Structure 1
């Protein structure tokens, strides 16, 4: 990359989807007023612009790739979603089309390399930015993502479509298109936009349209006729009346087939339908079609698009092509392999401490029964890496210790919890939901021992006992039933009841984990946003707000009642014992603002936990208007449940403002009901901000869990 050039990213909304434009820009042309962030370290040379509502039109792209990405929406009971991704490319200079095609194909393959495949959208964008620095002839890349309506993903990699665009001048001059490889095909589909007279030549000799060639003219004679000629401008062999078949305003689809020496032309994207031209080539005139050329007459300019599957792209050198095919096959297999591994691992992490039968893994993870051998290999690899264990034959569980060395911890599988002496009984219980939340909390505990009451049927329990300061503590993780919210809530309530029954001397309970911050625009006159602005990685601690005792508020039911419009009922919870709340206030009063003590503790905790996933993610996009350098902030206020409001941002924000809610989580109602039912009078909810919805952003969850755990430890150390 030229030393005077930088890569500038601009994010915007377009056609109902998100668009990221990555552009090679001379340093003197960068508008500093638009720049939101200048990256450093491994991202040096990358500028992130402020978000825009639209992007300046830069004309048609020179190449395009489309593919589908399958996602799981945790807000919708793990419903499968499908995103449609489009990558558009523009180039520097006047390189030939084949070089451009090879360049953007290689860029895409490098971007999707399974050995370094991004874990999430942010990682994908980061890699695309860094990678663009090494592709000097690519001037601009646009990434657009839109959600589609297909909710039935197969367990295969979907076709990746490659689009080659060609612009023909009003000059009646043919341009050969070597990047559209047709020598191994018998038909092609394309779309074209022109007023009239689009010309296609199928030739046996590259560069020659006058010998061993067929010419197809669509929209000839003022967009009224179409015909097939023998060679360019040769005698007409077939013709058809086609009034207004072309459009100057909108591209239209066509297909051409030359199978079995029958030349056919049709309209529409569906091959074989809508035929309007047919010519049977005489035996003396037959030849193998090897290349393609296109043109438009002096009366029109043309914009063409030729589509093909990326996996169908052929090289002229058979040895090179054989290597390409083998590499693509390996990459495809690696994609499937990686997808299965992460799918199985995440499922077991959600279910932990419950064990899962192989049959349920196959069913719930949507893996084909025919792939049982592959599943066995995946499970064996994960077990070898220390991530999972087979508890009994065919029953698997996420390994509590993971890959990190935990010399202080002892893990015991038990059928019945051993009797703990009165002196060693914990007085503090810590409840988590995600596996990374449990890992973060356990990193705060010294001298710990983990007991797993393991059942092959029904709910298992995990209890980690130890010390934080002078206090005896016990932590647990609530089991999740992936795809079944009601069953998960029942299991959560039962787990808390068992916890308090097993450890009868527990006085204080902490609910520690991730949540979604409430992102407001700064308003000096609005007390909600002037001092309590929330950023990623901040801590929200549940405290009464809005002149009430509400520490947690849930929108319980939403109804449409006659002409009165929307009505709802809401529930609130608060702890009757204010011991923990007084400590939070004390910490707030002692915070002078000169030294951010929490950031120092977080840094030490990251080193202690010794796992890279708990490092703070790099912010490369405009996730909030708060600078990264401001440090971790603790915000007090009510926490709410997003239930029923996740699809209505305006209503959710109104609800948050009315009730002074500073964060939403998935739903803590079952846990809070269990605490009330067991007459626990003292509890505190601590949430690390992982996103601005409900805390589901995967790359931020570990770090957000860690900052919440560090603040929890600070409160416990202050507790007398």
Structure 2
């Protein structure tokens, strides 16, 4: 399809058309060109009151007529649509947009077969009575409807026309939209698709989109075998279990086990039973039960992690480490690393099972109870790990990005910091009703410290950045890479129906903004964290749930762990989630180590800001 530009032609019938009869001073949808350069075009579409004289056609039939020089007035099915063919800067308002969305499409030139990447930015203005939450929801719904795959306009004329029709008939709270079309670069290669099962990145101008990728089980590899052993740690895992979990043969598993053993990454604990070797870990004692400790050595802070990289990151923050491992082939093994952070004695553990299976969740709760029963002087509990951020597609300052840290804190007017969604039920009006469990500590002193630290960081005092750099240097000895990936790998997609997604740009800072984020450092966010398969697995429910309850991040199902902390009457607890993807923290492996290192560094900043423990 060749590129199509030019004035808007109003002849194709739309399913949204109606035969409205317009009366004097009713709303009209008016399109006006605003600016044009060699590679960009800016168009304004606004809702405007116009009198009858302005709407009188000067002649012509069919789809519309002229309303004077340079004005095209829609008639019949296009009644209420006005197109200014020439720019009129006198009537163009210049107040800042309230929201904006940007996405990219690929245009294909039929003559040259070249692909041109184009940015399309939508800037929204709303009527004065529309609340901020409604503005955000409306802008996102508008966008999803605009780019819906089966009805996506294949040319500029159809694209602008669809925006005007949507404003006229459905999105009446929108007062103005500004559209900027900007060509970026040209290539003879087709666009790459997002690495997400079943996803299609829509491309304008192709006869049909690429077929979706089948959701296949990940093939067995040395990396996958090591990942399963790390996930099980400190529990040893048998080759039979590895073969069963990966649907592979024992012979294939044996090949990778042999290679990992030779590399010094794993070791056998019994015939056919293996566990992870922690690189450069010193003073590790294998015990049947924890030895008795002097009161001064008892930890007052417990840190709970779930994944191997999470424990490595936390341990890198601990001085004077001593690790005890209690291995067992029946029940759950335990690993406890004790030491100091600032003036405080801490103990860090790793849950031996992790995942969305409820039996794993129950085991995690039991391990937490055992930890708090073993170290009875613990008063403060930190749950440190990975999470999936909730992107804010339109607000630069509320947007959660990869590598950021979300600290669980109560939303305004609420007392909960963590929620688990049992069920999500769609109502007749298209909204969702959620059944949830929620938890919040009786004391918010840890959250208050986090808030103070974040404010200090915005003023330039950010001790966690120092802790991050120090630990990054320590962790270079590990085979796992904790350095931040290139920011360009932080891709953001929006679900637009079914398995289809479209790449959208991260929101830009407002014009003249003085607070602009540094892509090399994490941003700290405070808000609720949630989980639950009934919401996490669906784009629409995940966004709706987050919007209704001010959720900033999702994680793997930690409700049993939080319930155990609550049941053991710990009044001070907090979750810190390093953001490694936009779902639940389990998919983007490249961002996992640096993301959790940011969470561990901010954890250390909170602990160092706490009052020293009192004398017994």
TM class by shorter chain equals: 0.5 to 0.7
- Rounded to whole Å, the distance in 1 between the matches of 2:521 and 2:354 is 36
- Rounded to whole Å, the distance in 2 between the matches of 1:593 and 1:630 is 17
SS in 2 for 1:613: coil
Residue 384 of structure 1, CA deviation: 2.5
C-alpha contact (below 8 Å) 2:389/2:401 kept by paired residues = yes
Q: What's the counterpart of residue 506 of structure 1? A: 378
When residues 585 and 52 of structure 1 are mapped into structure 2, their CA distance, relative to the original with a 3 A threshold, is closer
Query: C-alpha root-mean-square deviation of aligned residues, in Å?
Result: 3.1
Q: What's the counterpart of residue 147 of structure 2? A: none
- Rounded to whole Å, the distance in 2 between the matches of 1:605 and 1:59 is 55
Counterpart among 247, 252, 255 of residue 366 in structure 1: 247
- 1:418-468 Cα deviation digits (max 9, x unpaired): 112211010000001111001100000111111111111221111111111
C-alpha contact (below 8 Å) 2:580/2:592 kept by paired residues = yes
- Rounded to whole Å, the distance in 2 between the matches of 1:538 and 1:646 is 19
- Rounded to whole Å, the distance in 2 between the matches of 1:658 and 1:569 is 13
C-alpha contact (below 8 Å) 2:424/2:535 kept by paired residues = no
SS in 2 for 1:614: coil
Q: What's the counterpart of residue 140 of structure 1? A: 189
When residues 362 and 538 of structure 1 are mapped into structure 2, their CA distance, relative to the original with a 3 A threshold, is same
- Rounded to whole Å, the distance in 1 between the matches of 2:361 and 2:337 is 22
TM-score by length of 2: 0.60
C-alpha contact (below 8 Å) 1:598/1:632 kept by paired residues = no
Q: What's the counterpart of residue 671 of structure 1? A: 561
- Rounded to whole Å, the distance in 2 between the matches of 1:573 and 1:367 is 41
Residue 631 in structure 1 maps to residue 521 in structure 2: yes
Residue 659 in structure 1 maps to residue 549 in structure 2: yes
- Rounded to whole Å, the distance in 2 between the matches of 1:690 and 1:425 is 33
- 1:97-133 Cα deviation digits (max 9, x unpaired): xxxxxxxxxxxxxxxxxxxxxxxxxxxxxxxxxxxxx
Counterpart among 410, 415, 423 of residue 557 in structure 1: 423
Of Structure 1 and Structure 2, the greater strand share is in: 1
Number of residue pairs aligned between Structure 1 and Structure 2: 402
Q: What's the counterpart of residue 713 of structure 1? A: 604
Q: What's the counterpart of residue 580 of structure 1? A: 446
Q: What's the counterpart of residue 332 of structure 2? A: 459
When residues 59 and 508 of structure 1 are mapped into structure 2, their CA distance, relative to the original with a 3 A threshold, is farther
Counterpart among 471, 483, 486 of residue 615 in structure 1: 483
Q: What's the counterpart of residue 700 of structure 1? A: 591
- 1:63-116 Cα deviation digits (max 9, x unpaired): xxxxxxxxxxxxxxxxxxxxxxxxxxxxxxxxxxxxxxxxxxxxxxxxxxxxxx
- Rounded to whole Å, the distance in 2 between the matches of 1:634 and 1:562 is 38
- 1:606-651 Cα deviation digits (max 9, x unpaired): 1122146100011225443466537321111111114311233222
- Rounded to whole Å, the distance in 2 between the matches of 1:379 and 1:652 is 38
Following TM superposition, the consecutive aligned residue runs of length 4 or more in structure 1 with deviations greater than 4 angstroms are 30-34, 57-62, 144-149, 560-566
When residues 692 and 145 of structure 1 are mapped into structure 2, their CA distance, relative to the original with a 3 A threshold, is closer
Trace 1:566-577 onto structure 2 (pairs within 5 A): 566-577=432-443
SS in 2 for 1:498: helix
- 1:262-315 Cα deviation digits (max 9, x unpaired): xxxxxxxxxxxxxxxxxxxxxxxxxxxxxxxxxxxxxxxxxxxxxxxxxxxxxx
When residues 469 and 651 of structure 1 are mapped into structure 2, their CA distance, relative to the original with a 3 A threshold, is same
C-alpha contact (below 8 Å) 1:596/1:631 kept by paired residues = no
- Rounded to whole Å, the distance in 1 between the matches of 2:521 and 2:297 is 37
Residue 687 of structure 1, CA deviation: 0.7
- Rounded to whole Å, the distance in 2 between the matches of 1:393 and 1:437 is 29
Residue 532 of structure 1, CA deviation: 3.0
- 1:15-38 Cα deviation digits (max 9, x unpaired): xxxxxxxxxxxxxxx96999xxxx
Q: What's the counterpart of residue 272 of structure 2? A: 394
Residue 592 of structure 1, CA deviation: 4.6
TM-score by length of 1: 0.52
Residue 582 of structure 1, CA deviation: 2.6
When residues 543 and 714 of structure 1 are mapped into structure 2, their CA distance, relative to the original with a 3 A threshold, is same
Q: What's the counterpart of residue 227 of structure 2? A: 346
- Rounded to whole Å, the distance in 1 between the matches of 2:264 and 2:520 is 38
Counterpart among 468, 471, 477 of residue 341 in structure 2: 468
When residues 59 and 577 of structure 1 are mapped into structure 2, their CA distance, relative to the original with a 3 A threshold, is same
Q: What's the counterpart of residue 56 of structure 2? A: none
Larger relative CO (CA 8 A, sep 6+): 1 or 2? 2
- 1:341-366 Cα deviation digits (max 9, x unpaired): 11211111111111111211122122
